[in-house]
Structure formats: structure tokens, C-alpha cells
Amino acid sequence: MEVDLTTDPLDPIRKEIDEADRQLIQILARRFDAVKRVGNLKHTEDAPLLDTERERRVQASWIQDAEALGLSAPFARRVLKEILNHSRRMQESLIENRQGLGRRIRCGYQGQAGSYSALAASHLLAHRSAAESGLLGYGTFQDVGKALINGEVDYALLPVENSIGGSIADVNRLICDHALHIVDEEVWQVEHVLAVPPGVELSDLRVIRSHPAALTQCETFLSSLEEVTREPWSDTATAAESLQEGPVRERRDTGAICSEEAANLFGLDVIARSLADRECNETRFLLLAREPEPPDQRLPCKTSMLFRVNHHEGALVRALDVFAKARVNLTRIESRPLPDMPWEYLFFVDVEGHLESPNLASALLELRSCCSHLRLLGSYPSRTRKQDSHLDQAHSPAPAPPICIRETPPEPAPRQTPNAGRARSTFRIGQVPVGEGHFVLISGPCAVESLGQIVDAARMVRANGATMLRGGAFKPRTSPHAFQGLGLEGLRYLREAGRQFELPTVTEVLTIEDIPAVMEYADVLQVGARNMHNFALLKELGKVDKPVILKRGMSATIKEMLLAAEYLLNGGNLQVILCERGIRTFETSTRATLDLSSVPVLKRLTHLPIIVDPSHAAGDRELVVPLALAAAAAGADGLIVEAHPRPEEALCDKAQALNPDDLAQMAAGLRPIVAAQGRIW
């Protein structure tokens, strides 16, 4: 019999495979076209994008059909996961990117072409803008951060955690230290391959180089190779690139562990795949921007934040309980050290939900009353949603109802919680607790005049029960000819006196430019009555992590004072103390009219501590003590009172400065009142 040598028996089968592949692609294109039409319809009807129930049904029938045809369920699940992922992103870009489409965006990442960061960046950006994106690789995470801050790039994509290696400290630190916003995330499946120069075989290899983390992840594979040493390299793509030319190529004994894309890019052969010990090796990246870009509320979202709680028992539990009660799911919590406050921590928390969704918005409002600092880092589309878990398990409990509910935007909720039945906020300034159950006496001269004066003042106020020292270095004087304060020199003297007598210091900050210096020297920043409406200053002070005393403007209503406080709270600074200091009325016998009714009124309206300044209200030493006692009786959380060791020498507000005897008399009068209220002083 004649054998036909011209046809390979594999040929017809391969033809069948090619035909099946063609059909597969056509079917996928058909599926995505339908997905797009669903997306358009959802967009015009304002319907939620994610239909978890529908996804569950799709998956169940997909797996059932696959198994009936003899396909493995885990394999089918994996394929479907990819398809659903892609479908969601397509619908997302339909509603999200309408105005961004066509805009060329520049994105920085750490590493070079072929690195996992570059791959993740190009994947993410393909969905964010139809125009080609410019990807710029940088040497270090810090360099990427700098490029974003100075406007060299529009976005930075940085890896924040890996499913095997855990959190990436340098990136977390970068986010903590700079006012950057998280606008998206990407989860990248890391798939390591072994790349070699063409023709090299596994048995030729004596050295395998890669990033140390990649070498660790491929431990089992590497230890199965005899006589091969591991060579740590700066990153996986550079390791691949190093094999491209030079003596290494000639020696032909070195391979690299990198991505398949890096191997292709540098003309290398891939001689082994799936090298990692674990099948699942995912890196989560965050896309950072200079401005927030809150996504459409219909998308399943995550929100990230940083907060600090007071250093007392149960503080963190209370904060987290707020989320539990609001049925907000926490997806990550991590602590970061605070270099200026050893053994205190910032918590980095990610939750499911959009910042403006009703339950998360109210949880965040509640959270403010149990944190001393809260910074929202942004809401962004979620790529690691719990809902995906139903794709990994055959039987999973019914997922929680979607959090993002589209509704007409509510009136922005005030950040301050009315006090009805709720805890008032308390925080510690140094060792001094302020707020509920405590009484704080802040005393000292109007202005710091010399080191001797402020040290004498500190000694005097301390002896009379003051727990904090005041003293202005930058003075807001009504007349430009009056003493304007010693400025920086005054700040130094104030700090010195505070240190000598272990008193935290309070001083006024007049301008945005002065904030860094005042932050460095003082423990509490005071916003004076004349600046209560200086919203630019308030916005900046909202960003700092130091307590602020906000004084009531001379002609401000209580509501206006609360709104001014909102500026601080909105920025994330929750350590705000309100101060009643008298208002302008038709009455001229006192410098201002002390509005003591504001104390109980404010307590009804806000959880913030309220103190009273009788000195600037009275303007007259003799009136200060009775007003101070009345303020305490009205329920103030403390007082700020001007006192001078030698009032006759005072360069500022001489007439209202208490002398040592007045101070002693005031303290004696205050003690029984404070004790009767069960407060600790």
C-alpha cells in the first residue's frame, strides 16, 4: 500500500483546533458586543452596573455546562473570571471615561518596560483612556512619587501589596507622607517564566538572576536545579535585559526569571513557565493622582483612608465598630509608625463602598468622633471585590447587597455629630486630655515678650493649676503700630518655657506661610477671632495633624463658627477645640459680650470640646475671674485665660492680664465647680 508522505496525520486535527479558536474569538467578540449594549442601557437608565445575582447564575450554568462536557470546573471558573472581569471593565469605561476618552495621559511606574508594573500600568490605562498612554519608568518608588507631585506625570501606578509577600512599606509610606489621592487599583497576576538567550537549555544554566522577591517566590523550582546559583537583580525586566548582550550572552550559562512579555521584549527564549510555588501570585497596584477622581457611584468601589485614634483602651475597636454597625466591609487594615510620636500609629484602612454612598458617608461621619486624625485617600473602582469569591468556590454564602446605591446627591452632611446620646470627642494633647469628663486650664501672657517673661509666666500658671501654656508669637493687632510679636524667636522661647514646666504650648497662627514654623514649635495652633473666616488658612490647617483652637469671630454666629470648624474637619483634622471669646454687641462696658449661652448651645450641636476665653471678652482684669467661674458652671470643657507675671509691664492686652494673686483666686473658685461636674482637672 502506498503511504502518502505529504500529509501529516496531525494536520486535520490542527485544522480543527484552528477553526475552534477562530470560533472562540468570534464568540467572545459577540459576547463583549452584547455586554457593551447592556452597559449602554444601564448607563442611560442609571441602573447599578454590578448585578451580583445575575453573575452567580451565569457562573452556575457555565460550570454545569462545562462539567457536562468533561471540562474541569476550576479551569472553567478561571476562564469565566477573566471574561467577567473584562466585561465589567468595558461597562465601567462606558460610564466613566466619556470625557477622558481621547486624552493622552502620562503614567509613571517603578522599573522598566516588561516589568510587572509596566504591564499592569498599560492594562489599567487601556481602560481609562482610548488614546495611547505614555508610560514612564523610574528608578525608585520615591522617584515616581516626585514625578507625580511635580507634574511630570498625571498618574503614578505603584505596587502596594503582594498576595505572597504582603505589604510594600515604601509605597505605603509615600502615600502617608504626601497629599496624594488614590483613583484606581489594579490586581496583576504575576506569572514568572524562565528566560534564556536563544538556544540555551536548562542544563546549561549555572546562574539565575531576578528580583529577590521573584527568586523567593520560585523557591521549589530553583532548589530542584543542581549547581545553579541565584543572583539578586534590581528588577525582573532588567534581569532579562541583562541577558540580551555582552559577555553573559556569550557565556550562555545565565537565565532570568521575569514576565513572558519581558522575555519577548529582549529576544529571549522561554524554557519554563509557572515557576512560582503558589499558583496564585497577585500584586495589587494603586493608581495615584494629585487630585481626587471619585468614580460613578454605580461602580463597585473601595474607599481608602488613614486615621489615628487616641491612645486609650478600646479606641481602635470603637473606630472599627463604626464600620461593622454600618455594614461596611473592611478589606485591609494596616498600621504605619508615626516617626514623630514613637509607639503611636496611623491606620491605613480600605473598605468596600463609595465615599458618598449613604452607609459609608454616615459611618465616616461617626468615625470622626472617635479619631484624632482622619484623611480620606479616595474612592476608586474595586478590583478585589469579595463578590469575586463566588467564582473561586463552588458554594459560597449569598453576597451582601451592593453598597453603592445611586440617588440624587444628598446635601453634604456636616462633619460634626450632634451630641444627642453620643460620645463627645476627647483627645490628648501631650499628656493632657481634652474633652468629656476633663477640664483644661490654658494660661499665659497675651504675647511672648522675652525668654525671662515666658519662663516666669509658665512657672506662675503651672503653680496655679494650668495644664497648658499660651503665648502669642505672631500677634494679630488691631493697630499696625502696636507690638506685633517676636515671631520665630517668640516660638523658640515659648517652646523652651513649655519644656521647662512640662506644659504643652498654644500659640496663634496668622498666615498659611507660618504654619510649618508654628507646627514645629507649638503643640496647639490657635486661630484667632479675626481669622475665623480665613477659609484658606482653615483649609490648610485641616491638613495638619495638630490640635487647633478655633476662636469665635467677633461678629460670627454659632452656626458660622461651626461651619468654620467644618473646614478643619473636612480636611481631616479632627482635633478641633471651639472657643467662645465674646462677640460685638451694642454694649460698651466690656471689650466684648461673653456669650455664655453658646456653651450649652454648642454642646447640643457638636461633639467638639468647647472652651471659653473670658479675658478677651472682658478686657478688664477684675471681670475675668467671675466670667471664668460662670463659664465653668455653664459646662465649658476648659478656659483660656491671659495672665502675666508682671501685668504692668505687659506689651499687649495689659488691662486684662491676671496677676499671680488673681490666678490663685480663680483656681480656688474653679475647683469646686469643676469637681461638682465630676470632671478631672
Q: Is 621 in the site for ligand PEP (CB under 6 A)?
A: no
Enter the DSSP assignment of 575.
-
Q: Shortest Cβ distance from residue 626 to Mn ion (Å)?
A: 19
Phi-psi region of 634 (alpha: psi -120 to 50; beta: other; left: phi over 0): alpha
Total of residues contacting Mn ion (CB under 5 A): 2
Residue 607, contacted partner among ligand PEP, Mn ion, none, CB below 5-8 A by kind: none
**Taking contact as CB under 6 A, which single stretch among the options 389-397, 489-497, 527-535, 662-670 is the one that binds ligand PEP?**
527-535
- Interacting residues with ligand PEP between 307 and 346 (CB under 6 A): none
Catalytic residue among 141, 266, 285, 439: 285
Is residue 148 a contact residue for ligand PEP (CB under 6 A)?
Answer: no
Q: How far is CA 369 from its chain centroid?
A: 17
Minimum separation from the CB atom of position 665 to ligand PEP (A): 21
Q: How far is the CB of 508 from ligand PEP (least distance, A)?
A: 6
- Catalytic-role residue among 52, 283, 417, 606: 283
Exposure pattern of 210-240 as b/e (b: 16+ CB <10 Å)?
bbebbbbbbeebbeebeebebbebebbbbbb
Specify whether 44 is catalytic. no
**Nearer CB in complex with Mn ion: 465/472:** 472
Nearest to ligand PEP of 255, 582 (CB atom): 582
551 lines the binding site for ligand PEP (CB under 6 A): yes
Distance CA 348, CA 609 (A): 26
285 among known catalytic residues: yes
Across 133-159, b (16+ Cβ under 10 Å) vs e yields bebbbbeebebbbbbbbeeebbbbbbb
Q: Helix, strand or coil for residue 593?
A: strand
Q: Whose Cβ is closer to ligand PEP: residue 111's or residue 528's?
A: 528
Given 94, 214, 446, 577, the residue binding ligand PEP (CB under 6 A):
446
Is residue 651 a contact partner of residue 472, using CB atoms and an 8 Å limit?
A: no
Which is it for the CA torsion 68, 69, 73, 78, positive or negative? negative
Give the residue with the Cβ less far from ligand PEP, 134 or 476.
476
Listed ranges 46-54, 357-365, 391-399, 646-654: which one lies at the site for Mn ion (CB under 5 A): 646-654
* Nearer to Mn ion (CB atom), residue 258 or residue 643: 643
Residues 184 and 107: beta-carbon distance below 8 Å: no
Which triple of cell numbers denotes residue 395? 458554594
Rounded to the nearest whole angstrom, what is the least distance from the CB of residue 446 to ligand PEP in the complex?
Answer: 5
CB 197 within 8 A of CB 243: yes
Question: Any idea which residue has 460634626 for its cell?
Answer: 416
Q: Looking at 187-195, 488-496, 522-530, 667-675, which segment touches ligand PEP (CB under 6 A)?
A: 522-530
Min dist. Cβ of residue 342 to Mn ion (A): 35
Applying CB under 5 A, does 446 fall inside the site for Mn ion?
Answer: yes
Residue with nearest beta carbon to ligand PEP: 528
Shortest gap between Cβ of 480 and Mn ion (angstroms)?
16
Closest Cα to residue 169, out of 346, 351, 382, 386?
346
C-alpha cell at 298: 454605580
> In whole angstroms, how far apart are CA 562 and each of 317, 512, 598?
28, 21, 11
Residue closer to ligand PEP by CB (options 252, 530) is 530
- CA torsion through residues 30, 36, 41, 47, sign: positive
| Distance from C-alpha of 374 to C-alpha of 247, rounded to nearest angstrom | 55
- Nearer Cβ to ligand PEP, position 230 or 581? 581
Site membership for ligand PEP, residue 529 (CB under 6 A) = yes
- Closest C-alpha to 110, from 64, 147, 151, 154: 147
CB closer to Mn ion out of 351 and 448 = 448
528 binds ligand PEP (CB under 6 A): yes
613 in contact with Mn ion (CB under 5 A): no
Is residue 653 near Mn ion by the rule CB under 5 A? yes
Number of residues that bind ligand PEP (CB under 6 A): 10
Nearest by Cα to 673 from 640, 642, 619, 637: 637
Stretch that binds ligand PEP, among 112-120, 229-237, 514-522, 528-536 (CB under 6 A): 528-536
Q: Angle, to 10 degrees, between the axis of helix 621-633 and the axis of helix 660-676?
A: 10
- Amino acid letter for position 5: L
The position carrying cell 496583576 is 188
When CB distances to Mn ion are compared, the closest residue is 446
- The verdict on 657 binding Mn ion (CB under 5 A) reads no
Minimum separation from the CB atom of position 661 to ligand PEP (A)? 22
Show the site string, 580-599: x = touches ligand PEP by CB under 6 A, - = not. Answer: -x------------------
Instruction: Determine if 472 is a binding residue for ligand PEP (CB under 6 A).
Output: yes
Our finding on whether 476 is near ligand PEP (CB under 6 A) is yes
Torsion of CA 309, 314, 320, 324, to 10 degrees: -160
Nearer to ligand PEP, 77 or 551 (CB): 551
From first CA to last CA, the distance across the chain in angstroms is 111
Binding site for Mn ion (CB under 5 A): 446, 653
| Residues marked as catalytic | 283, 285
Report the interface residues with ligand PEP, using CB under 6 A. Answer: 446, 472, 476, 528-530, 551, 581, 613, 616
